[in-house]
Amino acid sequence: MMYGYNEDYQYDGCVSRGICSINPKTASLQEVLVLYLRLGAHYALKLYENGNEDNGIKNLMLNTISVMVSNPEFSEKDFKAAAEKFSEELPRITKLYEDLCKEKNIVPECLKSILKYNKETDIVKAIRMGEKEFLRKANSIPQEIRDLYKVLFVLAKSICINVLDLECFGVDADEGYITILKLLNSLNTEEQDIEKIKNLIIDNTVVDNKLMKRLRLAQEERYGIQQKTEVSYSTTPGKAVLVVGSNIRELEDVLDALKDKNIDVYTHDEMMLAHTFPKFSEYSALKGQYGQGMENCLLDFATFPGPIILTRHSLYNVENLYRGRLYTTDLAYSKGVIPIVNKDFSDVIKSAEESKGFKTGKQCETVHIGYNFEDSVRKIDEKINEGKYSDVFIIGLNGYTIEQQAYFEKLLSKTPDNVLIISLSYSTHRENSVYINACFDTFAIVRFAGAVSEKLPITLFFPKCDRHTISQMIYMSTNPNIRIYVGKCTPIILNPNMIDTLNKVFGINGLSSVKKDLDDILNKK
């Protein structure tokens, strides 16, 4: 029914991997990092508004958010490194701003803070400070407002990822960085007008969507227009490297580094998307996809007979994995994971050559993934022009749970014939459907919704819930011709209270039963 589905996902998911939620210690340290980010955003924005952009604080801000994105259980070492850097940078940019104000004869707008700049950071004190800040907000800010603040921070993470990925392609993304500064600085006012916060959130999703479009353009300019392609799950005898994550620019770096080596390269999870770009077919070392994906990473990583590269923003908890073969290009990494600095893959190559590799190889299925956007839209338009349809359902990327598998199987079978179904992950052969295996293309649902949104009423289903889809859902919710339904989110992304808030503020609905959802969608126009 759907790409890569395996019932084991249900039992090897976030619960077993320990990333369904953040432990209290980490949550407290995150509260402190947010205080640093808010303070840094205020002074960085003031400098920018006075014509003085500072690259030191810019790198620190983006890298700190990146750490919080890719490593929800970041270590005390990661926290101390960030806190110590802020202790250096904040006094510097504060003085820079005050000197600038003195030079321009204007009154500086300085912020008071409970933070004390100290390179010898005391973790126990930091945890207590974080707990105190959490309790203060709980006692002074209504729950719904706090939930909207959390949504703002989810947006900051999404924008940050897009900014850093664009920079990998040499594309200017200053608009995204300034948006992050404004977003974080808005938290300093602790605005409690829901309508104002709502408008701020929407403005941020507009910028994030622009960055996503810009990133796809940069990818296609470098690697060619996306196409439908075959991807093999087979393995071949030989030494091998596994590349994990979503940053396809880093996959290119790996392939270039190994081009003169007798080492094969396999992709894992979201990196599978790279196969849809023609440029990657030119690399003979790129063999295909390995394993069942992020939800099965413990088994996939343990059985791969070579080094594993975790690219930037890879959301993996590797505490339960054995060490020595895990490498990362990310700024934050768990104990025992080996950092790759300045694109130096020499240690990875040595590890691959010393590993056992695949002895005999194994023949497995080949899957068709990807799409040509123009061809797919043409096919959809042909369906719409038949004049038989009153509504369009667009089903987004797979959520990989048994519960959602059952829901969408039933939805695909119960949807009336006068509704056109565009499914981006769940296969269907009904006459009123168009199936496009969008694989891990998180931008696909927005692209296709935009192509048909003025033709018929649309309902978007988001089975998968991650930092990017939150931004996309809110962005699309402003279109009066679109209704939105979202599957269950893990608490690390959105807790149940926040889902209720999204419903109240943005009209985003949670999935219930197929019968009820169909009745609500088709009978309440």
Going by C-alpha positions, the residue among 319, 285, 321 that lies closest to residue 304 is 321
Q: Which residues pair with 289 in a beta bridge?
A: 267
Rounded Cα distance between 497 and 489, Å, is 11
Going by C-alpha positions, the residue among 337, 341, 292 that lies closest to residue 319 is 337
Q: CB-based contacts of 145: which residues, under 8 Å, 6+ apart?
A: 192, 194, 197
E-strand ranges in 199-262 read 229-232, 239-244
How much is the pLDDT for 283? Answer: 96
Highest averaged pLDDT of the listed ranges 7-16, 319-328, 420-429: 420-429
- What number of other Cβ atoms are within 10 A of residue 91's Cβ? 11
**Mean pLDDT, range 5-34, rounded to an integer:** 59
**Mean pLDDT, range 210-239, rounded to an integer:** 96
14 has a pLDDT exceeding 70 = no
How much is the pLDDT for 89? Answer: 93
- State the sign of the Cα–Cα–Cα–Cα dihedral 124, 128, 129, 130: positive
Rounded Cα distance between 514 and 503, Å, is 18
Give how far the C-alpha of residue 160 lies from the chain's centroid of Cα atoms, to the nearest Å: 10
Confidence of residue 175 (pLDDT cuts 50, 70, 90): very high
Looking up tokens 């993304």 gives: 173
How much is the pLDDT for 493? Answer: 67
CATH number corresponding to 229-366: 3.40.50.2030
Length of the chain: 525
Tens digits of residue pLDDT in 85-113: 999 999 999 999 999 999 999 999 998 88
- pLDDT-above-90 percentage for the chain: 62
E-strand ranges in 233-369 read 239-244, 263-268, 286-289, 308-310, 326-328, 338-339, 366-369
Rounded Cα distance between 141 and 492, Å, is 21
User: Token digits for 234?
Assistant: 């087979």
Pairing of strands 366-369, 229-232: antiparallel
Going by C-alpha positions, the residue among 371, 380, 513, 403 that lies closest to residue 451 is 380
Tens digits of residue pLDDT in 457-493: 999 999 877 778 899 999 999 999 999 999 877 666 6
DSSP 489: P
- pLDDT-above-70 percentage for the chain: 89
Is residue 65 helix, strand or coil?
helix
Rounded Cα distance between 64 and 81, Å, is 10
How much is the pLDDT for 74? Answer: 63
Edge-to-edge, what's the strand order for the sheet holding 338-339?
A: 286-289, 263-268, 239-244, 308-310, 326-328, 338-339
Rounded Cα distance between 225 and 278, Å, is 7
CATH 3.40.50.2030 domain span(s) along the chain: 229-366, 373-523
Q: Which residues pair with 2 in a beta bridge?
A: 426
* Cβ–Cβ under 8 Å, residues 63 and 89: no
**Mean pLDDT, range 294-318, rounded to an integer:** 81
Confidence of residue 220 (pLDDT cuts 50, 70, 90): very high
- The mean predicted confidence, pLDDT, of the chain is 87
User: What is the largest distance, in Å, between two alpha-carbon atoms of the chain?
Assistant: 75
**Mean pLDDT, range 193-221, rounded to an integer:** 96
Is residue 263 helix, strand or coil?
strand
CATH class in words for 373-523: alpha beta
* Cβ–Cβ under 8 Å, residues 243 and 221: no
Instruction: Give CA angle at 480 (479, 486), nearest 5°.
Output: 70
How much is the pLDDT for 492? Answer: 63
